[in-house]
Amino acid sequence: MSNAKPAKGIWKVIGASSLGTLIEWYDFYIFGSLATVIASQFFPKTNPTAALLSTLATFAAGFIVRPFGALVFGRLGDLVGRKYTFLLTLILMGGSTFAIGLVPSYESIGFAAPVIVLLLRLIQGLALGGEYGGAATYVAEHAPAHRRGFFTSWIQTTATLGLFVSLGVILLVRHGLDSDVQTSIDKFNDWGWRIPFLVSILLVVVSIYIRLKMNESPLFAKLKSEGKVSANPLKESFTRKANLKMVLLALFGATMGQGVVWYTGQFYAQSFMETVCKIDFEQSRTILIWAILFATPFFVVFGAWSDKVGRKWIMMAGMLAAVVFYRPIYNQFLTASNIQHFEAKELVHESTPQLLNETIQGTAVTTTTVVKTFADGSAYTQKTVSQHNGEPPVVFHIDKKLDNGTYWKFVWLVFVQVIFVTMVYGPIAAFLVEMFPTRIRYTSMSLPYHIGNGVFGGLTPFIALLLTTINTDDQLVGLSYPIAVSAVCLVIGTLYVSNRTNRNVHEHDHH
Amino acid sequence: MCMSTIITEKNNLNFCKIKDMTNLLREWLGWVWMLLGPLSIFYLVKIAAAEIASNPVIDTKIQWGVFIVVAIPIAIGLMMFGWYAWKGEYNRETD
C-alpha cells in the first residue's frame, strides 16, 4: 500500500467491515444480556438436564468454541481469502441469532428447545471467533501503512458499540411494549425479548449486501495470484518457531491484559454496580451507556496516535493505569453508594410497608419492604427479613436510585475505565496485523486475540465472584484477578514486545 | 559487538550495558514464566477440586472441567514462552 495517500475507497472498506463486526458483537451480547430471560424460557431449573445445557451454553460458547472458531475460520481465511470467510461468519452469526428469536419455548416443544438454543449459541461463538481476525486483517491490508492504526481502530470501536447497541435496544424494547412500565416489562419477559434477536436479521442482510460488493484484500489477492498462499496455515502458524513465538508473545504480552481490561471496564463495572453497590437496574445500564458513548471516540484517538508513537507504549500505559487505578475507582463506587450516604439526606417520602409472610425450609419468615425517597431524588428499597426463630432481622438495601450528582460521578468512573479499554484495545488490531505475514495472518492473529479476549477476559466475572466467596471481608477482592493478569502482561509486554512498527506488512511475506 | 546509533563512545557504552542487562533480564525472567505455567495449573486444579467437593453437581463439574481443559494448553504456551525467553529468542539490539 502507498504510504502517501489513503487507499482508494478505504472508508467503504471500513464501513463494510465495521458494520458487520458491530452486528456480530451485538448478536453475541444480546444473548448474554438476556441470559435470565432466556434461562426462564428455555432452561428451566426444574429440569436438571436443561439447566446443564444452560451451563454448557454459557461456558462452552465463550471459552472453547470462540478460540476454535478462530482456528477454523482463520485457516479458511488464509486459504480462500478474507472476503468470503468473514462473509460466512456474518451469515452464520446473523442466521443463528435470528433463529434463537424464533425457537419455541421449553413449555411448547419441551427438551428440543434448550438443545436447539445451545446449538445456535455454539454457532454464534464459532462465528465470532472467525469474524474479528477477518475484519481487522481486511481493513489493515487495505490501509496505507502510516495510518494503519487509525483505520483499524474503527474496527476496534465495534465491540464496545455492539455492547452499547445491545443495551440500548434491550432498554428501548423493554419500555416500548406498553405505556405502563410494569406491563411492558412483563410483555418483554414473555415474548418481547425475541425482538432484539429478530431485529438483527435486517442489519445482517444489509451488511451481507455491502460485503458482497467488496473486493478481496489486495495483499491476499496478490499473494494468491503469485501462488504464494499457505498450503497449511495452522501448521505454519503454530509449528514454525519464528511464528509460534510471536503468537505466544501476542497472547502473553498484549491480548491477555487487553482481555481483562476490556471485561473489567465494561462488564465487571456493570455487574459490580448491580450486585455489590445494588444500583437500580436501569441506572446501572444507562451509566454504562453514557460512559461508552463518551469514551468510544478514544479508540480512534489512540489508534491514530499509535501510528505516530508506536502501538506498544499506549497499550502498556492502559494496562498500567488499570493496575494502579482499579481499586481506587471501585472504592469510590462503594463510598458513593453506601447507605449512610443516602441517610444523611432529607427523607421526603417513605412508602407504606409491604409485608410478605412465607415459610422457608420450615421456618416462618416475614419480609417487610419499604421504599424511601430523598429530597435530591435519590431512593432505595429496604427489605427487612425477620425469621420467627429468635434470630435478629436481616436488613438489605436494594434498587438504589442515585441522585443526579452521584449518577454522573458513576458515569465518570466507568468512563475512566473505558478510556483504559480504548488505550489497550484501540491500537491492538494494527499491532497484531503487523506481527504476522499475510499468508498466515488471519490464523495467527485470531487465536491469541480470542484466547486473550474470550478466555482471559471472559473469566473475569467468574474468578471475581469466586474470589469474593473466598475472601468475604474485602469487597474489592474480585479486582485481584484483572490486576494480576494486567500486571503480568504489562511486565511481559514492556520487556519483550518491540515498539517498532512494521510498516510494510507484506514485506515479511518474502522471507 | 554492540551496535548503536548513539555517536559518543561513552553513551554507546552505557547503551550497550543497558541493552545487555535488559536482554539478561528477558532471559532470566523466562524461568518465572516457565514456573508460572505449572503453578497456575496446580492452583486451578486445587480450587476446582475444592469447589466441586463443596457443590458436587454436574454444573460445577462442567464449569471447572471447561476451565481446566482451556487452561492446560495456555499454561503449556506460557512455559514455551518462558523457554524461548530463556533461550534468548526475544532478545534484540534496540526497541
ipTM of the complex: 0.86
**CA gap B59, A452 in Å, rounded:** 25
Q: Up-side HSE of residue A494: CA atoms within 13 Å toward CB?
A: 14
Give the pLDDT score at A466.
83
Q: Report which residue type is found at A283.
A: Q
pLDDT band at A7 (very low <50, low <70, confident <90, very high): low
Q: Do A248 and B58 touch (CB under 8 A)?
A: no
Phi and psi (nearest 5°) for A363?
-110, 130
Contact assignment for A59 to B74 by CB distance below 8 Å: no
Residues of chain B in contact with residue A48, where contact means CB-CB under 8 angstroms, are 58
For the cut 70, the answer to whether the pLDDT of residue A510 exceeds it is: no
Distance from C-alpha of A122 to C-alpha of A60, rounded to nearest angstrom: 7
Q: What is the pLDDT of residues A80-116, one digit of tens each?
A: 999 899 899 999 999 999 999 999 998 899 889 888 9
CB contact (8 A) between residue B62 and residue A64: no
B8 to chain A, any CB pair closer than 8 A? The answer is no
Chain segment A255-312, per-residue pLDDT in tens? 999 999 999 998 899 889 988 999 998 899 999 999 999 999 999 999 999 999 999 9
Q: Which chain B residues are within 8 Å of A500, Cβ to Cβ?
A: 94-95
Kindly give, in sequence order, each residue whose CB lies less than 8 Å from that of residue A221, ignoring residues fewer than 6 positions away: A81, A215
> Quick one: pLDDT band at residue A321, thresholds 50, 70, 90?
very high
Tally helices (H) and strands (E) across chain A.
24, 5
- Mention every residue, 6+ apart, whose C-beta is less than 8 A from residue A182: none
A·B CB contacts under 8 A:
65
B80–A496 C-beta distance less than 8 A = no
Report which DSSP code applies to A29: H
- Examine the pLDDT at A191 and tell me if it is beyond 80: yes
The per-residue pLDDT for B63 is 83
Cβ contact, residue pair B74, A455, below 8 Å:
yes
Q: What is the DSSP string of B36-90?
A: HHHHHHHHHHHHHHHHHHHS-SHHHHHHHHHHHHHHHHHHHHHHHHHHHHHTTTT
Q: What is the structure's pLDDT at A193?
A: 94
Mean pLDDT of chain A: 89
Contact check, Cβ <8 Å, B62/A52:
yes
Q: What are the tens digits of pLDDT across the range A451-482?
A: 999 899 988 888 888 888 887 788 999 999 99
Q: Which residues of A touch B63 (CB under 8 A)?
A: 55, 59, 462
- pTM for this prediction: 0.89
Residue numbers in A near B25 (CB within 8 A)? 495
CA B37 from centre of chain: 7
Q: What is the pLDDT of residues B60-73, one digit of tens each?
A: 888 888 889 999 99
Contacts of A466 in chain B (CB under 8 A): 47, 51
Q: Are A311 and A428 in contact (CB under 8 A)?
A: yes
For residue A116, give Cα distances in angstroms to A41, A65, A119, A120, A192: 13, 16, 5, 6, 20
Angle between helices A297-309 and A281-295 (to 10 degrees): 40
B21 touches chain A (CB under 8 A): no
State the Cα–Cα distance between residues A451 and A109, nearest whole angstrom: 36
CB A127 within 8 A of CB A24: yes
> A120 CA to chain B: closest CA distance, Å?
19
The answer to whether the CB atoms of B70 and A63 lie below 8 A apart is yes
- Beta strands A363-374 and A394-401: pairing type? unpaired
Give the tens place of pLDDT for each residue, A360-400.
777 888 999 999 999 999 999 999 998 877 788 889 899 99
pLDDT at B5: 52
